[in-house]
Amino acid sequence: MKTRHLLLAISITAIWGLNFSVIKLGLGTVDPLILAGLRFTLCALPAIFFIPRPDVQWRYIVGYGLVFGIGLWGVVNLGIKAGLSAGIASLVLQFSAFFTLLLGAWVFKEAISRYQLAGMGLALCGLLSILSIVDGTVTSAGLILVLLGALAWSAANMINKKARTTQVFAFLVWSSAFSPIPLFALEYAVNGSTGYSALVNQLDSRAILSILFQVYPNTLFGYWVWNSLLKRYPVSTVAPLSLLVPVFGLLGSVVIFDEHLSLNKLVAVALIVSGLGVGLYGQRLLNAVLRHRCPS
């Protein structure tokens, strides 16, 4: 990978990691479901008027929008609001990789390798380490909600795989159009007009910047660049860099919210990131070593 492309990929993982802290900033004055609804409204508008609909069935566009917008980011916002720190949320959400493996085995009958099982075991040990954190940055409700968000992300991955679209940006824009109304309706069903009254009376520059960051650098620009790199380079070259997301997520929380990195948190990061590395890339690494030792 060229140096400028490597730096660009790392910058995207930094944006994605920092996004969790940016979400938390926005949640200071905007309710979680409204924040997610505003995010996906701006992801869809006005871009949807200029980008042709992707050539996939409507059920995939609608399904992805509902799962990605509500099941993933609506629920993750609720988890952060429920007390899970931005740094820990960025780490726990990485469990989507293992949920995707399990769903792939169920839906597509894909075999699970010993490396993937070993990676899951390491990551579960990391999750247990998170459960032992008692400094106020972890709550049971927040942890469960973000794990549910990780499960939703894996379901969204399954929908994306079934859609088989090559028009990734158009698919993201059009699917985003189906997230806001259900998110706004859920907010009204749960809290009535309270959240909307607070939005009108308390919306500040910090919340506006939070929404704009989530829409443009994080979602539209980030996914466009990342998928462009995936088209240019092998997946095995680009995808491992995503392991940096929780690292930047924790660093962002440390800088912005002065989150303390206790030994338990460092152990959790090491175990979960190692688990991801072993589970997703262990076989490739072994094959590369064998080819190096036994060149044809």
pLDDT band (50, 70, 90) for residue 174: very high
- Residue by residue, DSSP assigns 197-241 as HHHHHH--HHHHHHHHHIIIIIIIIHHHHHHHHHHHS-HHHHGGG
- Tokens 């809290």 sit on residue: 191
Angle at 209 (CA atoms; ends 205, 213), nearest 5 degrees: 175
Distance between CA atoms of 235 and 44, rounded to whole angstroms? 27
Q: Tokens for 28?
A: 């200071």
The pLDDT tens digits of the residues spanning 95-152 come to 887 887 787 777 777 777 888 888 888 888 888 888 888 788 899 999 999 999 999 9
pLDDT of residue 171: 93
* 3-class secondary structure, 200: helix
Distance between CA atoms of 207 and 28, rounded to whole angstroms? 8
Distance between CA atoms of 101 and 253, rounded to whole angstroms? 29
The pLDDT tens digits of the residues spanning 217-265 come to 999 899 888 878 877 776 656 766 777 888 899 999 999 999 888 888 8
Q: Tokens for 62?
A: 């609608």
Cα 243 off chain centre by: 12
